[in-house]
Chain A
């Protein structure tokens, strides 16, 4: 289900923009979510203090991560939970397959976990003969459509209800042409009920792992994590190493921020705590690194690990809203994905830090105050220095830097440019100039400000 592609964000975004009414619909839908977030945030007078507090708690976690992880592990084991450590995606997938294999299980229900998307767990298990059904409604829709999620909180936000109706008609037997959300949801509910009742294994993500108590907290609106985990014999929870919070009391800060930032709700419908397995059942937690400790070692980028996956940066990002999640060709789209992905594969994701105007809205909606747009700028510098920038661009930039370092070259260059704009408009107004496709070039004035100023000075003397 991975979106394997060699195309860049710009190319995929250009394809997305061929259908302008759809872009408008996508943009309006996400802007509406951003507006709901604003209303929710403005109802909390101490909102900015909450953000700062959350940021500082996460800074503390990142600075003492190994200690907190060991504390969490010790407490979880004390509670009767089995803890596994995975260095990378491959190890994570193998641990889960082994757990299932040992118990003779070949069907599993899964609630939302962006980490398993990052690790491409579904594809891996499918190859090994294990059938996985995503139980989050949005995730189930994209799974049936054979697509990856386009948003970390709203996985099928790119699909219209009519399209969902078609998918359900094809896979779940709903009536042809049915697009009433209530009826479609009921169809999914009936389908998933059977899944919940018959699956012996359930996999969930983790929103928060509390070091103090060894418990995990999972936030869902649909209760699907609970349905899966409570009915199955074995509950496997996958978490990145950065999901730790030190104490239970800190949850109060994060739970107030998480859904207000994500959807504008005061809190998720279900904030479920899992501390110890029920009698006769098992809980396994897989703690995954997969590049996170490398990111932790990058001074400029370490605080990207503060992310609590609310998606607010996506909803506010004008580029995300107008290019769609799939154009980011990575599990986590949008601004946060663009600062996380280059850590995993700098060459493959060299385009993502450039898929931004650096408008800075992302950093200011972020509930844990990640300096996302500053990190986008810094990744650009790293990517160029590591040699992942096109040669033509490097040559152009060198020429530009050379010209702009010399007042004489700048003045003559500026004059030539203005003359060209005036007398040879075909040199700039053509198909080779991407600006010109949808925009006119500026009109060249008779003289530059510098020339005007010199004449004015002469006049004054």
Chain B
């Protein structure tokens, strides 16, 4: 199985630990992981701002970097969803279609493809799971509360395999954190209020860590937690799943 690791631009630059944990975790599970080193960004920041027509360069670069693999795995639901829904190329549409089918967010890859049912990980803390909207409603890695349908959550299923970890219940299980890409600056007031309320829900329920399959939400909530000088920390789900027992 030849797997390419897709590391979103902001994870590469600001949260390398999450990408390292993803890589190590996949290798631990026996996967041959390749990191195409010329990768940059999926193009979502432009597209969600209404400039999808400017993403041709990003799209072609993505196709060049990620063609020919069995799977493409990414530690971000949002970027995965963008590729799944919006990767197009007039010149290389066949390759784009193939990539769109092969790209997976990390937790869905672990559950659906690798069929992981146990992990050697220990994380003895109270953890709040933030359901990132694009992973939740776009990729359906968990069941959203709006639908009348059986509940499930792939990230929670994996976190349940971690020794010592206690998932805390939340008042609102899947309300948005308010990041929303350029929304976080264009609609600064509403965005930060949404983030603040989300963070409060985790704190009120005793979370020591807030985790998610998406770092963009965590980056947003971290910004609020640090402004409040809170002891609560954010951590990407890969870092928990890869947390060695001796740590």
Contacts and interface: CB of A to CB of B under 8 A. Distances in A.
Contact of B187 (A319, A449, A450): A319
B166 interface: no
B37 A454 contact: yes
Given A322-B193, A440-B227, A442-B14, A385 B53 contact: yes
Given A439-B220, A449-B16, A407 B46 contact: no
A383 interface: yes
Interface string B11-29: 1111111011001000000
Given A360-B133, A435-B184, A449-B11, A398 B54 contact: yes
Contacts of B51: 381, 384, 394, 397, 401
Interface residues of B, number: 75
Contacts of A434: 184-186, 188
Interface stretch (B90-98, B102-110, B113-121, B142-150): B142-150
B175 A405 contact: no
B194 A318 contact: yes
Interface in A392-434: 393-394, 397-398, 400-402, 404-407, 410, 414, 417-418, 433-434
Contacts, number: 214
Interface string B46-89: 11111111110110110000000000000000000000000000
Nearest to B22: A449
B189 A449 contact: no
B224 interface: yes
A316 B146 contact: yes
A31 B201 CA distance: 14
A355 B50 CA distance: 13
Contact of B35 (A16, A407, A410, A453): A453
A27 interface: yes
Given A45-B148, A402-B57, A453 B185 contact: no
Given A48-B149, A404-B41, A410-B40, A354 B186 contact: yes
Contact of B183 (A16, A322, A357, A393): A357
A442 B10 CA distance: 10
B148 A42 contact: yes
Contacts of A381: 50-53
B54 A438 contact: no
B188 A418 contact: no
A44 interface: yes
A429 B137 CA distance: 33
B128 interface: no
A392 B10 CA distance: 22
B38 interface: yes
A372 to B, nearest CB: 12
Contacts of B60: 405
A31 B176 CA distance: 13
A418 B220 CA distance: 17
A118 B35 CA distance: 54
Interface string B124-138: 000000000110111
B9 A449 contact: no
Contacts of A38: 145-146
Interface of chain A: mostly helix, strand, loop or mixed: helix
A14 B176 contact: no
Given A31-B172, A440-B227, A323 B190 contact: yes
A452 B134 CA distance: 28
B160 interface: no
B45 A400 contact: yes
A423 B241 CA distance: 33
A133 interface: no
B211 interface: no
B155 interface: no
A410 B65 CA distance: 15
A357 B223 contact: no
Interface string A177-201: 0000000000000000000000000
B196 interface: yes
Contacts of A31: 172
A439 B61 CA distance: 33
A437 B188 contact: yes
Contact of A449 (B7, B48, B134, B193): B7
Given A377-B48, A435-B188, A452 B20 contact: yes
B58 A401 contact: yes
Nearest to B61: A405
A358 interface: yes
B39 interface: yes
B15 A447 contact: no
B133 A384 contact: no
A414 B183 contact: no
Contacts of A48: 147-149
Given A407-B61, A438-B227, A439-B195, A10 B179 contact: no
Interface string A344-375: 00000000011111111101110000000000
A359 B177 CA distance: 9
B14 A440 contact: no
Interface in B216-247: 219-220, 222-224, 226-227
Contacts of A42: 148
A359 B137 contact: yes
Interface of B: 7, 9, 11-17, 19-20, 23, 35, 37-41, 43, 45-55, 57-58, 60-61, 133-134, 136-138, 144-149, 172, 174-176, 178-181, 183-197, 219-220, 222-224, 226-227
17 contacts: A10-B190, A14-B190, A41-B148, A318-B176, A357-B180, A360-B134, A398-B54, A406-B40, A417-B13, A418-B13, A437-B188, A438-B224, A439-B220, A441-B223, A442-B223, A445-B14, A448-B16
Interchain residue pairs A-B with the least CB separation, the first 6: A405-B57, A357-B180, A439-B223, A380-B50, A384-B50, A438-B192
Given A45-B148, A442-B14, 10 more contacts: A41-B148, A318-B176, A360-B137, A361-B137, A361-B146, A361-B174, A383-B50, A397-B51, A402-B57, A452-B16
